Amino acid sequence: MSGATAISPAIESFLSRAHQGEARSLLERQGLPQRRLEAWRYTPLRDLDKTGFAAPDAVSVDEARALLARLAPEALEGHRIVVVNGAAVAALTSLPDTVEVADLSVPLLADRPLSVLNNAMQQPGIALRVAADVDAGQIALVSLVTNGDQVSTHLAHQITLDAGAKLTLLDIQSGEGAYLANPSLTVSVAEKAHLTHLRIQQDSLEATNLALVNARIAEHGTYDSFTLTLGAKLSRHEVLAHLGGKHAIVHVNAAQLLAGSQHADLTSVITHAAPDCNSRQTVKNVLMDAGHGVFQGKIFVDRIAQKTDGYQMNQALLLSEKAQIDSKPELEIYADDVKCSHGATVGALDDEQLFYLRARGIPHAEARAILVRAFLLDALALVTDEAAYALLDRRVDAWWQKREA
């Protein structure tokens, strides 16, 4: 973290809007994370530090509705929460009777810079609770920014599932302009509850997205997440998952598709703090042009967490000589009866496979698309809901068609 006495333009602008308290003091003292901090060595925020960020302007309901139709048409139907420029739009929000709006209570994680920034600047988002044994179906959480040049949003959301409850959260983040989005999601999954979290990050290619998910999973509970990263000039998705009861399950899967000079970082810390728990993480990167992907995944197994089953795999497909990937899978194990593995692979499209397809009359662009989709299949197939899979597939196809046009 920054030890300099001078305050950067970014921190100065944040402090002018920050709430008083411990988080504000930490932000003022520590600043934004710098490269010498091990967890941030691959994702420097130097350019971000040079920018002063203002609060975004409010928008009308008609403007919000038009933005929703333009950037997240999938959420026009069904239950949804719509947030534009950091403020909920009540006229566009529709919640099922099976969920309760609760009081927001987001913990401060003093050793996590994104938590410090979000707590200091916190814009209350939504806190939802699903009662015991209730299946609440699907809710879309749509966070949008418009007229977003040099503004920042710092939304804090919370999802609580009581014992046996179920919920699918479709989390869409998008916008227009050169803004900073710094969302935080706190998740609590009780015994035998199941949260499916599908996140699509398709922010403006001028924007920065720094997101944190803090999930705690109880006995026989499941947190099943998938993140599709397509947008933002600079992004980081940080997931902290704590398996605190026997037979808890966590999946932190993702696909990152980057082009131009995009930089995307997926960092996870999965803590096995109870016996007989299971964690799975498959992350695929498709990198074009000078796209830069980062994967930092850590599985921590406590001494008590015997019979842990942990798996972690990162694979990158480089479609350009300028594309690059930094991959750092890591295991830290203190139990002696575990089954844990991790790995990473990096490669290009197979020339022989490409030639095989071309020899059968398939055009070059279509042949490349077939091979890229085959590479992504292992990750996308982990999304078992047919409607959600179709949505992700459409977004991937649109991204590829735009890049190959």
Choose from 2-11, 330-339, 357-366 the range with maximum mean pLDDT.
Answer: 330-339
Q: How far apart are CA 267 and CA 235, in angstroms?
A: 11
- Residue 1: its pLDDT value, please? 45
Asked whether residue 2 carries a pLDDT value surpassing 50, the answer given is no
Whether the CA torsion 112, 153, 267, 307 is positive or negative: it is positive
The residue type found at 190 is A
- Scanning the structure block, which residue is given the tokens 């902290």? 240
> How many other C-beta atoms can be found within 10 angstroms of the C-beta atom of residue 404?
13
The whole-number pLDDT of residue 5 equals 53
Amino acid at 35: R
Q: Where are the alpha helices (DSSP H) in 77-128?
A: 113-121
pTM: predicted TM-score of the whole model, two decimal places: 0.95
What length is written for the chain?
405
For residue 179, what pLDDT band results from cuts at 50, 70 and 90? very high
Higher pLDDT pick, 5 / 6: 6
pLDDT in tens, 276-328: 999 999 999 999 999 999 999 999 999 999 999 999 999 999 999 999 999 99
Instruction: For the chain, give every domain's residue range.
Output: 9-348, 349-405
Average pLDDT over residues 195-211: 98
Maximum mean pLDDT: which of 242-256, 346-360, 362-376: 242-256
Q: CB of 166 within 8 A of CB of 176?
A: no
Average pLDDT over all residues of the chain: 95
pLDDT of 254 strictly over 60: yes
